[in-house]
Structure 1
Amino acid sequence: MRIGAFLLAASVAGAAPTQVWRSDQGDGTFRNPVLYADYPDPDIIRVGGDYYFATTTFVNVPGITILHSKDLVNWQLYAHVVGRLEGSEHYDLKGGSAYRKGLYAASLRHYRGMFYIVVTPVGLKTRVYYARDPRGPWKYHQLDREAFDPGFFIDDDGTGYIATSATSDGTITLLTLDKNFSAVTASRKIHYIKGAEGSKIIKRDGWYYIFNAIPPRLGLTVSRARSLFGPWETRNQIDDKTGGHQGALVDLPDGRWFGFVMADSGSIGRMTNLSPVSWQDDWPVWGTAESPGRVPDRAPKPIAGFAFAEPATSDTFARPTLGLQWQWNHNPDNSRWSLRARPGYLRLRPTVAPDFWSARNSLTQKAQGPKSRAVVKLDITHVRPGDRCGFGTLGQYSATIAASRAATGEPYLAMSVIESTEAGPKIDVRVAHQAIAGSRLWIGVDTDFTSDRAVLSYSVDGRHWQALGGSFPLAFAWRTGTFQGEQYALSCYNPRPSAGYLDVDSFTLAALP
C-alpha cells in the first residue's frame, strides 16, 4: 500500500462522501457482495414487499442489527434489537474482555403481524424476542436451554420449531414450542450431518428444507423431507470457493427464489452474497442458467425499479441520538459520553483502562471495502496529560493515533498497534511522542482490503497530511481477535481517572482511489 496515497492536497473532512462499494450497477444488474463489509450469519425474510436482514454483532452494543431493503440489493440500517449485553461482568470490560462472545447467529421470522428473533446469548439460555415493529420495542421469552445457532421456523398451522446443531456433533435436534413460542414442549433428534451448524428451515410445495453450514469445509448443504421429523436426504450445495457456506433462501412475490449466503473474505470479515435459485426435481440450484452451481459475480437484480441505497456511514453528530451505524465495543459507561454536552459534537470522557483493547466506550462502525478512507475531525482542547484519545482500527490488529498532553501542557500524538494473540494483547508502540500544535486535529485511516494493509495519518489544518508509524496489517481471526472484520474505532481512555475529554466534530467515509 502506498503511504503517499494518504497525503491529501485538500481537506478530506470537508469533501462530499462518495460510495465505497456499489452493488447496484444502475443497469438492471447487481454484483456481489451486496455489502462489502462484515455482515455475518445472515438471515433474510420477506414481509409483503419488504425484506429484512438480521446479522451477528458479537460484543457490539446495541446488538443484533436489522437492515431493510425493497429489492434485496440496496440495504439500509433499520434497527438494533438488544440494548445491553448480560450474563458476565466481562461485557462491561471488568475483570477481562468478552471478545468473540455476545450475540450471534440470530434467526428472524414474521408471523401474523409479529416479528421474531431467536438468539442464544453466549453463556445464557435461548431467547425468543418479539415485536410488532423491527424498530421495537422488543420483549423476549427465555427458554429452558441453550440452542446453539437456533433456526426458527413457523409451520402453516402456527406451530413454532427451533432446529439446532453444533459442529462438534452434527446432530440436528428439533425443538417444538408452545403456542406463544415461550417454552419448549418437545425435543427430538431428526438428522445427522457431520460438522453441521447454522440450521435454517424453509417450506416449499409440501417439502421441508434444512440448510446447514459445514464450517470444517466452508460448505453449505440442503436436506429435504416431507415431514419435519424426517426421513431426510441431503445434498451438497455451494462452498466458499463457489459463493459461501452459511445461509438459506428467501422467496419473491412472483414465486421466484433467491439465496443468501456468507463467505469468509479475509480481513474485511464475512460478507453476504446473493444468488438466483432455480429448482430441479424439487432441489434448489444456486446460480444463473449459464453458470449453475455457483454464486454469480454479477446477475440481474431480483426486483427492478428501486433506487440506490446503502447503510449510513458519515456523521456530523448533529442528531440527539447516535446513528445506527455506530456501536460500542462492549457495554458502554453512559456517564462517560454525551451528544448534548456540546451540540453538534460527540463528547468522549476518558474511561480508566491500561490500553485500548480493554478500554470501555470505544465507538465503532464497520470498515468498508475494497478500499476506503475514514477521517475524523477532533477538538483536543480539553485532552489532559495521561489521556489517550483518538481514532483508528479495531480488530486482530488495532492501530490508533491518540492525542495526549505532556505535563507542561503541550499536545502530542502517539501511534500504536495492538496485535491480539493467545497470550493476550501485544502492543507495538510505533511513535511514542509526536509533538503537534493547536487544538484542532484530523486523523485518518486508509484501509485496503485487497492487500490487507492500512495506514494512519494526521493533519492539524485539514489540508496537509502526515503518515505516522508506517503501514500495518489488517486481519480477521476468530480464535484470538474480535471474530469480526476490522472496524473503525473512536476511543478515549487513561490509566488513571481524568477530568479531560475529547470532542468529535465529524466522521467522513469515502472511497480510496
Structure 2
Amino acid sequence: MPTLISRSHRALLALLLGLACSWATAWQSDQGDGTYANPVFWADYPDPDVIRVGEDFYFATSTFAGSPGMRILHSRDLINWTIAGYVLPRLTGSPAFDLQGRGANPGVYRRGIYAPSLRHHQGHFYLVVTPVGLNTRLCKAAQVQGPWDCHELDREAFDPGLFFDTDGKAYVVTSASTDGTITLLSLSEDLKRVTNARKIHYIKGGEGVHVLKRDGLYYLFNAVPWRLGMSISRSRSLDGPWETIESINTAETGGHQGAIVELADGRWWGFVMQDKPAIGRVTHMSPIFWKDGWPIWGTPEAPGRVPARATKPIQGQPLAQPATSDEFSEPQLGLQWMWNHNPVDSAWSLRERPGHLRLRALPAADFWHARNTLTQKSQGPVSHVEISMDVSRLAVGDQCGLGTLGRYNGQLYATRDAGGQLSLNWRLITDQGDKDPQTVQDGPRVPISTERIELRMDLDYVTTNRARLSWRAAGQATWQAVGEPFDLRFDWRTGTFQGPQVAMFCFHTGEQAAGYVDIDWFRFSDKP
C-alpha cells in the first residue's frame, strides 16, 4: 500500500533531495539564496541562550547527564553553527554522574545540568548553571573553548539567569515552574557569594528566565511550561513594579523558552525553542521588531509569529553545521560526541588501534547502567547512520552495537555464545518513567559468520517518527533489516529528557570486564 505524504512533506522531501549529498553533515537551515528555513537546528538543542561578542555569536544548551557537559556553539550569522566546545570536562557532585550509588537509575538521565545562562563581561565569558539537586555553579573563561574555572554558590538557583547591569553589578535571577516567584540574587564583586536575595516578580508557572536591559528598561523573558508559551515583563527597576505581556507559544506562533539578542548594527533577533513530539526541542530564529517598547517576534507584516522562512540576519557567511560523521582518525573524539555519563577513560581508546575507536565491554546490569555509551544527537527531517565494527574480540556475555538512547531504545548488537558463535540481536527497551519499570522486547537473533560487520539505523522524523535497524557484512552491497521499526519519541517524564540520541555501546553482563570492539568509522547521511 503506498505511503500517503502531505503536500508540505512532498515539498520538504523535494528540498532535501536537492540539498543532500552522499555523506552529508546535517539539516541545512541556510538555503543558499540569502534566506534560511526554520528550525535552525533540526535536532534537540534545548534551553537555548545566545549572546553576541563583537561579530561572533555563542549558543549554550542543556546537556543533562552527558559528559562532557554544557555544549557551546559558535556562529557568525545566527544560522550557520559549529560546536566550539564544552564548559565541564566531567560532571561532579554526585556519584550518579558515574552511574554509581543510589542515583544510578534511568531517572538520572533526566537530571544532570540544564538551562544554562551565558554572558560576556569585561573580556571574559561567564556561564551559570544549576545541576538538579545541587548548588548553582558559576564558571569563567577567557576564551569560550576554555579552560573554564568554576565555583559553587551557596544555594540551588533553579534555571538561573545571569545578568551584568550597566554599573557592573552582577545578579542571578531564578524562578521555578512549581512556584513562579522570581527571585533576584545579588552577587559579590568577585561573583563568588550571594550578598542579597529578594523577590521581585511572580509569573504563574514561570521558569527559564533571561534578563536584558535596553534603553533604560529591564526585560524578563520567562518560559511558561504549562502552556508552552513565553511571557515578557519590563520595568525601570530590577525591583519592579513590572508589567507583563504574553508572547509567543509553541502551538501557534513558533516556540516558548528563549530571548533576544542584539546585532552589531542595532537590529534585534529572537531565539526560541519549540517542542516536537519525536525529535525533541528544536531552535528557531526570528527577526524582532519593537512596538511600544515591547519586542515582537516576526515582522510588522506578520507580527507575533516565528517565520518558517526569512532573510538571513547577516549575509555572506559560509555554510556550516555541527559535525556528525567521524572516521576516528584523529587522536581525540570529535566535538559532536558525548558519553552517556562520565566515561571510564581506561576502557576506550583512539590510540590502541589507530584509525579505530576501541570500546571495552564494562560490566553492567543492563543498557541503562552501561558506562561508556557514546552518543550524538539524531537529526531530522530524515537521517541515516552507519558504523563499521570489528567484533573479532567479543567475549561471551558482551553486548556491543548501535541503537538509540531515549524513551525507546532500539538496539542491534553483536554477541558471542559459549560455543563461539557470533550473532546479531535486536532489542527494544522502553523507559516507563521513575515509578514504573522498563519493558524489554527481544526480537530476532541472526547468526553471522563474519567478524567485520556494518550496522545501519534509519530515522524518519517526517512521515513515520520511527527508526529501523539493519546490517551487512563488510564489503557487501545489500542491507538486511533486523527486527521491527520502533518509535522515536520525546517526553520529559521518560527517557533522557532529550530527543532520541544515536548511541554506540559495549557492555558485559557479567561481573568482570571482558572483550572489546573496534569501530572503524561512523557515517551520517541526510539523504532521503
TM-score w.r.t. the length of structure 2 is 0.93
Amino acid at match of 1:222: I
Per the alignment, residue 107 of structure 1 pairs with: 117
Alignment of 1:335 with 2:329, yes or no, is no
Q: Identify the residue that residue 54 of structure 1 maps to in structure 2.
A: 60
| RMSD value, Cα | 1.4
Is 2:470 the counterpart of 1:457? yes
Q: Distance in 2 between matches of 1:138 and 1:53?
A: 16
| Of 34, 40, 53, the match for 1:34 | 40
**Structure 2 equivalent of residue 297 of structure 1:** 308
Does the 8 Å CA contact 2:50/2:57 hold for their aligned counterparts? yes
CA deviation profile, 1:191-229 (whole Å, cap 9, x unmatched): 011111011001111111000000000000100011111
Kindly indicate whether residue 80 of structure 2 is the aligned counterpart of residue 74 of structure 1: yes
1:184 and 2:189 matched: no
Query: Aligned partner of 1:511: which letter?
Result: D
Letter in 2 for 1:87: G
Q: Quick check: 1:448 aligned with 2:460?
A: yes
Give the Cα separation in 2 of the matches to 1:261 and 1:196.
Answer: 15
CA contact (8 A) 2:74 2:83 kept: yes
Aligned equivalents of 1:16 and 1:58: distance in 2? Answer: 32
Query: How far off is 1:2 after superposition?
Result: 9.6
Match of 2:13 in 1: none
Equivalent positions of 1:71-150 (< 5 A) are 71-95=77-101, 96-97=104-105, 98-150=108-160
Change (3 A) 1:19 1:498: closer
Aligned to 2:516: 501
Q: Is the 8 A contact 1:384 1:498 kept in 2?
A: no
Task: Measure, in 2, the Cα distance between the counterparts of 1:512 and 1:486.
Answer: 19
Q: Which residue of 1 aligns with 2:9?
A: none
Alignment partner for residue 259 of structure 1, among 249, 257, 270?
270
Separation in structure 2 between the aligned mates of residue 2 and residue 174 of structure 1, nearest angstrom: 58
Q: Bigger shift: 333-342 or 71-80?
A: 333-342
Deviation at 1:281, TM superposition (A): 1.2
Structure 2 unaligned regions, length at least 5: 4-20
Superposed, 1:118-267 pairs within 5 Å as 118-241=128-251, 242-267=253-278
SS in 1 for 2:438: strand
Q: CA deviation at 1:18?
A: 2.1
Q: Encode CA deviations 1:232-260: one digit per residue, 9 max, x unaligned.
A: 00001100021111000000001000000
Any stretches of 5+ residues in structure 1 without a counterpart? 4-14
- Given that 1:452 and 1:474 are in contact with CA atoms closer than 8 Å, whether structure 2 keeps it comes out as yes
CA distance in structure 2 between the partners assigned to 1:137 and 1:389 by the alignment: 34
Which one-letter code corresponds to 1:244 in the other structure?
G
CA contact (8 A) 1:315 1:508 kept: yes
Secondary structure class of the residue paired with 1:357: helix
Relative to structure 1, is the Cα distance of residues 39 and 452 closer, same or farther in structure 2, using a 3 angstrom cutoff?
same
Give the distance between the partners of 1:246 and 1:18, measured in 2 at CA.
30
CA deviations 1:357-390 (Å, max 9, x no partner) are 2111100000000110010111111111111010
Q: Distance in 1 between matches of 2:138 and 2:189?
A: 13
Q: Deviations over 1:162-195 (max 9, x none)?
A: 1100111111000111111111111111001111
- 8 A Cα contact 2:362 2:514, kept in partner: no
Q: Kindly report structure 1 stretches of 4+ aligned residues shifted beyond 6 Å.
A: none
Distance 2:173 2:374 in 1: 35
Please list the CA deviations of residues 245-286 of structure 1 after superposition, one character each: whole Å capped at 9, or x if unmatched.
100000000100000000111221101101100001111111
Cα pair 2:286 2:298 within 8 Å, conserved: yes
Q: Answer whether contact 1:317 1:505 (CA < 8 A) is retained.
A: yes
CA drift of 1:21 comes to: 1.3
**Mapped contact 1:357–1:425 kept (Cα < 8 A):** no
Equivalent pair of 1:20/1:371 in contact (CA under 8 Å):
no
Contact 1:20 1:370 in 2 (8 A): no
Question: Aligned equivalents of 1:335 and 1:233: distance in 2?
Answer: 55
Partner in structure 2 of residue 65 of structure 1? 71
Q: How does 1:267-282 map to 2 (within 5 A)?
A: 267-282=278-293
Output aligned runs, 1:463-478, within 5 Å.
463-478=477-492
For the residue of structure 1 that corresponds to 2:195, the secondary structure is strand
Note the C-alpha offset of 1:511.
1.2
Q: Write the deviation string for residues 366-419 of structure 1: whole angstroms up to 9, x where unpaired.
A: 000011001011111111111101011111001111111121212111110100
